Structure 1
Amino acid sequence: MKKILPFILLFFALSSKLTAQTKIQFINTNGDPPATISKYIYSHFAEHLGSGIYGGFYVGDTSRISNTNGVRNDIIAALKIMKIPSLRWPGGCFADTYHWKDGIGEKTGRPAIVNRWWGGSLEDNSFGTHDFLNLCELLDADPYMAGNIGSGTVQELADWVQYVSTDTKNPMSDLRRKNGREKPWKVRFWGVGNEAWGCGGNMTPEYYVNEYRKYATFMTDWTNSDKLFRVASGANVDDYHWTETLMKGIPKNMVEGVALHHYSFVEWSKKGSATNFTEQQYFKTMKTAWRMEELVTKHSAIMDKYDPGKKIALVVDEWGGWYDVEKGTNPGFLYQQNTIRDAMIAGVTLNIFNNHSDRVRMANLAQCINVLQAVILTNKEKMILTPTYHVMEMYNVHQDALRIPVSIQSEEYTLGTEKLPAVSASVSKDKTGVVHISLTNISAKNAQPVTIDLGDGKYRSVTGRILSSAKLQDHNSFTEPDKIKPNVFKGAALKNNQLNLSLPATSIVVLTLN
């Protein structure tokens, strides 16, 4: 018996490992109105930084690369397929050094400045207000403009709002017409400064509240105040005092959104390579990505104290992975490659935002092209779509759909003594009644068996798409542009109103239920 006992114990240990699985259950809301997953959660960010604008979006109208008024046509087409809902511009840190009147009128007469924040490069202002807003029209995307309250003035920002949004007879609309645009663009989203706690002025939250109130007052003539969505410069990661001070100090009729910034990385002072990293570095990065759940929950709880009706949005207008720049590139240009690790960051983060869509109603991935966790990389006439692009495209089925709440009992991704939830998920029902389930398995080694209880819904069929790759370090390059791309997923079985599937290691799966 003594000899047999170890084998029995081993058998039960192995059996329990084989039967362990992630369980997901649709939650009945008992008639409570479901939250909408705002399409603006899938927004993006384009700063005057490195080759994000120049050499990214903008090549000039004399370029041999196919373009519309200087903006690359292949990028326009790709972003429209991805369904980009909004684009934030001109920064970032650059916003609080940007003077918008330098970027209007004849391009040959525009003054140049040094981009002191990002590499000390010369900014010639050839891409300005008209170029950006016309780009947004080409993309069918709403512009989100960040106002300069660091080195700018109240009058300057008030004039910018009038220039782009008013149709009445006034000096700013006359100036716009003189510069070739008859009708206004009607810009709704405005950031009142950026990172006021840092590059936007190193302000205290108490000081910023008063600055915000001043600027927000003069941005509107009060006849169009309901048409503006003003976003206060919010907290850096876990600065909960900042959020509390803003919610306490800004009248509710003067603010529509409060920002939050959080990046995923190995260590802030030692970020490591974007492509040459260990599983331990991967785990650390995913730990900071998962921290978004804690941050959104705690900042939302503070906002709930002062705004129980949830009228003010939490706007996570900078998020994504941040690593060392690629070798041989300017350190100030923040150009980095994009691997399956970045797809995992995107999958986990978007699931978090979707599940908190009652409060999170806009988020902006940093950044769109050639900077940080970009969805597109360019090299002269060449363009590639990154794994992050494919996640954003796969997940766009959630845009403006009704969130279906779920409970998740996830198996764990373990490395050494540390553990993280291996599986994250979010679910929604679109306007046609079709249900979409997005699933991310961050485990670097193990597939995850998943059972999904579909509640009271009646479904006839399931189809799916998957994004995955053999190695964590795999990425698309200009020589292998399609190494990582979505494929058909046939591994989900629907029976008795239950779904069973196995999620491969480091994979994203989006299921469609009819």
Structure 2
Amino acid sequence: MLSASITLYPREPQGEISPLLHGQCLEPTGEGIHPGVWVGQNEGIPHQDGIRLGVFDALKQLEPPVIRWSGGAGAANWRDGIGPHKSRPTRVTTHQGTDHIDSNAFGTHELLRLCREIGAQAWLDGSVASGTPRDLAQWVEYCNFDGPTTLAQARGKNGDPQPFGVRFWGIGGQTWDGGGQFTPETYAAKYRQFESLFPRLQGQEPFLIAVGPDGNKSPESAAWTRQLLQKLGEWRSSQLDGLDAHFAISNSGGEFGTATAFTLDDYYGMLSESLRVESVIDEQRALLDASPIGRDAKLILGQWGVKHPRGERPLWQPNTLRDAICAAMTLDLFHRKCKVLWMANLGLGVNAGQALLHTFDNITVRTPTFHVFDLYKRHRGGQLLHADFESGEAGGLPRLSGSASYQNGVVTLSVVNSGARSPVEATVEMPGSNIEMVAAKELAGEGLAAQNTAEAPETLVPREIAPKFEPATSQSSFVHTFAPASVTVFLIKLAS
């Protein structure tokens, strides 16, 4: 059996892991909202105020810290999604390559009530391509103002007299493509206009997010940010709180097989592709730091995730163990980059992209990616710890990799065994520490293409495991054998 070692240093904190690195996205495209999240009064599907109960319960368990409502790249108008459902217009959108019919039944109130119920902050995007600064300003007033204005009173008449308190506002979305096909210069002019007219309501501190680059296109990604920051910093500079870069773990052309049929080389190739995001993070943070207006701005990865070749269902794709391992390796990387990356949002939540949840008639299936996010929750808000992994390579990648954090007397250690064929016995050492207890859960399967389906929704679920911890022999270490192609999370309680 292969052997390895992992050494953790609880006395060497590296910075706080922002909970916002575990953000999610919802978008009214494909089957994401209809019939994924929203089923209305369908008597055949359990729901809570129109929201599919299986989706609601899963999100309640996951506790996503922020949900991005990715409407800034489309032509939708927020006014279409308020008021009595019977009076809301039905529209068609085509910007995702499909004729998508949207009843607007899931609008501002439905989204923000969902966020409130599951404890998530909301990030709303206003379109700079189809909307005006006035449209966005009035949306802000509608959501957030507590006073006797027509818009605030309309919010009350629609069921929510108390302001929603939305903090995160995106000025545009994917403006380099479907959000207007702007150049950095023309988008900068739009941003300045929208930002200057953005309401600064008393007692509120809006967090304004500019559209960053398509991180998959180099050298365009660097040119976009460099030129955008230059223009935003000219004359009287604009408020810039965050820059939203995007990155897809791209398999849309079948470079690494299909979602469920792929070779071992395809498997390792897609894992390697997922780690390319590190160069995007480093590039964008360096550009922000080099700019007076960008120096204090937070770097955000506003949409990321695996993209497989499209099938018959628009934007829907299978979600396998391979996808889960990509998600785990990416989250671990985000944790390790917590000094420079502040927020990240997986796309697109339900029935689209690397989804957390798939729905089939009245069934909600939690994907392997959902289980990774659920396992990794304990990292949120913890102090990143220095960790050394000595394990050799598999497919050109570190065989074992992961991240470690500390809070409230407990070390959380997440480990990915990327090796598809071989188990690895590893000793986990914590020099100078006394371990009181070790608990662990593992996500692994019988094959790299294993997935959860409507017929077999629990093919891949975490299971409790027992690491070999013998205090009589050593109080600062334990041994565990990592299954091939697995994700394991340990909770290590330290003696006080």
Within the alignment, does 1:424 sit opposite 2:401 as a pair?
Answer: yes
8 A Cα contact 1:112 1:124, kept in partner: yes
In structure 1, the gaps of 5 or more residues are: 1-17
Displacement of 1:175 after TM fit?
2.4
SS at match of 1:111: coil
Counterparts of residues 100-111 of structure 1 (less than 5 Å): 100-111=78-89
Normalised to the residue count of structure 1, the TM-score between the two structures is: 0.88
Displacement of 1:184 after TM fit?
1.1
8 A Cα contact 2:253 2:309, kept in partner: no
Displacement of 1:460 after TM fit?
1.9
Within the alignment, does 1:396 sit opposite 2:377 as a pair?
Answer: yes
8 A Cα contact 2:229 2:293, kept in partner: no
8 A Cα contact 1:37 1:399, kept in partner: yes
8 A Cα contact 1:489 1:509, kept in partner: no
8 A Cα contact 1:194 1:200, kept in partner: yes
Code of the aligned partner of 1:364? N
Displacement of 1:60 after TM fit?
0.4
Match of 2:267 in 1: 282
Displacement of 1:68 after TM fit?
1.9
Within the alignment, does 1:505 sit opposite 2:490 as a pair?
Answer: no
SS at match of 1:45: strand
Match of 2:28 in 1: 48
The root-mean-square deviation of aligned C-alpha atoms, in Å, is 2.3
User: 2: CA distance between counterparts of 1:250 and 1:408?
Assistant: 42
Match of 1:377 in 2: 358
Displacement of 1:307 after TM fit?
6.6
SS at match of 1:75: helix
Counterparts of residues 457-468 of structure 1 (less than 5 Å): 457-468=433-444
User: 2: CA distance between counterparts of 1:110 and 1:188?
Assistant: 26
Within the alignment, does 1:297 sit opposite 2:297 as a pair?
Answer: no
Q: Which structure: greater helix fraction?
A: 1
User: 2: CA distance between counterparts of 1:154 and 1:173?
Assistant: 18
Displacement of 1:409 after TM fit?
4.2
Displacement of 1:434 after TM fit?
0.9
8 A Cα contact 1:260 1:317, kept in partner: yes
Match of 2:232 in 1: 250
Provide, for residues 84-109 of structure 1, a one-character-per-residue CA deviation record: whole Å limited to 9, x for no partner: 1121114363xx31111111112222
Counterpart pick for 1:99 among 77, 102, 107? 77
8 A Cα contact 1:22 1:411, kept in partner: no
8 A Cα contact 2:406 2:412, kept in partner: yes
User: 1: CA distance between counterparts of 2:116 and 2:315?
Assistant: 27
Match of 1:489 in 2: 465
Provide, for residues 34-75 of structure 1, a one-character-per-residue CA deviation record: whole Å limited to 9, x for no partner: 522111111111111111101111000243322122101222
* Alpha-carbon spacing, 1:210–1:280, altered in 2? closer, same or farther (3 Å): same
SS at match of 1:484: coil
Counterpart pick for 1:39 among 13, 16, 19? 19
Match of 1:4 in 2: none
Match of 1:440 in 2: 416
Match of 1:148 in 2: 127
The percentage of aligned residue pairs carrying the same residue is 29
Displacement of 1:255 after TM fit?
1.7
Displacement of 1:440 after TM fit?
0.9
Displacement of 1:305 after TM fit?
2.7
SS at match of 1:190: strand
Code of the aligned partner of 2:206? L
Displacement of 1:253 after TM fit?
6.6
* Alpha-carbon spacing, 1:504–1:62, altered in 2? closer, same or farther (3 Å): closer
* Alpha-carbon spacing, 1:482–1:116, altered in 2? closer, same or farther (3 Å): same
* Alpha-carbon spacing, 1:455–1:317, altered in 2? closer, same or farther (3 Å): farther
Normalised to the residue count of structure 2, the TM-score between the two structures is: 0.91
Match of 2:337 in 1: 356
Counterpart pick for 2:428 among 435, 449, 452? 452
* Alpha-carbon spacing, 1:254–1:477, altered in 2? closer, same or farther (3 Å): same
8 A Cα contact 2:72 2:171, kept in partner: no
Provide, for residues 424-471 of structure 1, a one-character-per-residue CA deviation record: whole Å limited to 9, x for no partner: 2111112x2211001112221222343433244332221111000121
* Alpha-carbon spacing, 1:308–1:164, altered in 2? closer, same or farther (3 Å): closer
* Alpha-carbon spacing, 1:295–1:90, altered in 2? closer, same or farther (3 Å): closer
8 A Cα contact 1:87 1:144, kept in partner: yes
Provide, for residues 176-198 of structure 1, a one-character-per-residue CA deviation record: whole Å limited to 9, x for no partner: 22333211101011111111111
User: 2: CA distance between counterparts of 1:462 and 1:307?
Assistant: 47
SS at match of 2:169: strand
Count of aligned pairs between the two proteins: 482
Q: Which moved more, 1:171-180 or 1:345-354?
A: 171-180
User: 2: CA distance between counterparts of 1:133 and 1:177?
Assistant: 14
